[in-house]
Amino acid sequence: MPASSTGATRELTYAQAVNEALAEEMRRDPTVCIFGEDVAEAGTPFKVLSGLVAEFGKERVIDTPISEAGFTGVGVGAAMTGLRPVVDIMFGDFITLTMDQMVNQAAKVHYMSGGKWKVPMVMRTTLGATRRSAAQHSQSLHAWFSHVPGLKVALPSTPYDVKGLLKSAIRDDNPVIIFEDKMMYKLKGPVPAEDYVVPLGVADVKRLGDDISLIATSSMVQVALEAAVLLAEIDISAEVVDPRTTWPLDEKTLIESVKKTSRAIVLDEGYERYGVTAEIAAVVASGAFYDLDAPVRRMGAMHVPIPFSPPLEDVTVPTAQTVFEAARAMVKRG
């Protein structure tokens, strides 16, 4: 699967970009290893890791029992003692089982030890609804980790970003959690063949615009880009800004965009209440207060367990159409 380095930019799927990032980092650094359920021959249910065990062996691509707390804890200890583990949590919903290891252990080890121990560990997991997987396989729970000092959280929205952010995460000396939108694994996009990283804490303007800022994360970036196309048809120019990491958070880029456009909708697939949209809305509302022409609007998942039935599930998350309508109402044009 990994393409040879030619210096060219290829079209890769999001899944291929993840795979390539891992393969390159494992070649570069022998201390990088992968732990998780069905990560080796199976390559995960999403086949994102296919081929890695063939190249790196079962010593480095390690199938675990279904014991998320146990193998995440092993990842924390291994990270403290010389390895750079990438812990694979098959569905983001299962992070509940790892909470003590991540929140009480990984996040606090460096601080509690007065800077003596480090935890250079990555957790890869998923988010996102509309896959008809019901309430325990569809949640977007990244706000929980974003809440905890000591953790970093990345939400890559393109093949380019996922490869660059994952490589940064692996090289980082702190616990970093990467949430991958499982609906995005087949999304294609340009990815350079040469080595590059996307730094943690640097937002990306995915589309320039003047009338309204659509600040969107992960799955919602594609939704915002589609909405921007619809808005352009009625002569509303939307800027799409992707923070790429919820912590560290590139507040400056977000605030600058809103100062320019004077309006903002914050989009995130997690629950709206007490969530990422609330935090970012507060950041831009205070940072761009004197330039705002309207209250900052938030759009996230409805405050319900994700239902199974397709017509019910589909209304729980923002769509290009709902974003388009919200933006049109805010700009009061068209």
Partner 1 sequence: MTTTLQQPRSGSELGTERLLGIYRKMAAIRAFEERVNQLYTRALMPGLAHLYSGEEAVAVGICEALTREDYITSTHRGHGHCLAKGAAADRMFAELLGKVDGYCRGKGGSMHIADPTTGNLGANAIVGGSLGIATGAAFSAKHLGNGRVAVSFFGEGALGQGVLYEVMNLAQLWKLPVIYVCENNMYNEYTHFSETTAGDIVMRAAAFGLPAESVDGQDVLAVHATAQRLVDRARKGEGPSFLMCNTYRYTGHHVGDISREYYRSKQEEQTWKGERDPILNFAAWLQRERVADMAALQKIESELEVEMDAAVQFAIAAPYPGVDEVEQHIYAGE
- Which chain residues interact with partner 1 by CB under 8 A? 31, 33, 59, 64-65, 67, 69-83, 85, 100-101, 104-105, 109-120, 149-150, 152, 172-174
What is the greatest pairwise CA distance in the chain?
60
> Helices in 234-319 by DSSP H: which ranges?
251-261, 276-287, 310-314
Q: How far is the CB of 160 from partner 1 (least distance, A)?
A: 24
Q: What are the φ and ψ backbone dihedral angles of 57, each rounded to 5 degrees?
A: 85, 165
Q: In terms of CB distance, is 84 or 297 closer to partner 1?
A: 84
Q: Rounded to an integer, what distance in angstroms lies between the CA atom of residue 31 and that of residue 66? A: 24
Q: In terms of CB distance, is 32 or 241 closer to partner 1?
A: 32
Using the Cα atoms of residue 306, residue 310, residue 312 and residue 314 in order, give the sign of their dihedral: positive
Does 142 qualify as catalytic in the annotation? Answer: no
Q: In terms of CB distance, is 185 or 247 closer to partner 1?
A: 247
Q: How far is the CB of 86 from partner 1 (least distance, A)?
A: 13
Q: In terms of CB distance, is 150 or 159 closer to partner 1?
A: 150
Q: Rounded to an integer, what distance in angstroms lies between the CA atom of residue 95 and that of residue 126? A: 10
The partner residues of 250 in beta bridges, in order of sequence, read none
Cβ atoms 179, 216 nearer than 8 A: no
Q: How far is the CB of 105 from partner 1 (least distance, A)?
A: 6
Q: In terms of CB distance, is 2 or 77 closer to partner 1?
A: 77
Cβ atoms 36, 46 nearer than 8 A: no
Q: In what order do the strands lie in the sheet with 61-63?
A: 61-63, 32-36, 84-88, 122-127, 176-181, 152-154, 245-247
| Per annotation, catalytic residue among 110, 137, 147, 303 | 137
Residues in Cβ contact with 215 at an 8 Å cutoff, skipping those fewer than 6 apart = 241, 242, 243, 254, 257, 258, 264, 265, 266, 267, 280, 284
Q: Rounded to an integer, what distance in angstroms lies between the CA atom of residue 103 and that of residue 320? A: 35
Q: How far is the CB of 163 from partner 1 (least distance, A)?
A: 22
The token pair that represents 110 in the structure block: 């460096």
Q: In terms of CB distance, is 103 or 320 closer to partner 1?
A: 103
User: Could you list the active site residues?
Assistant: 137
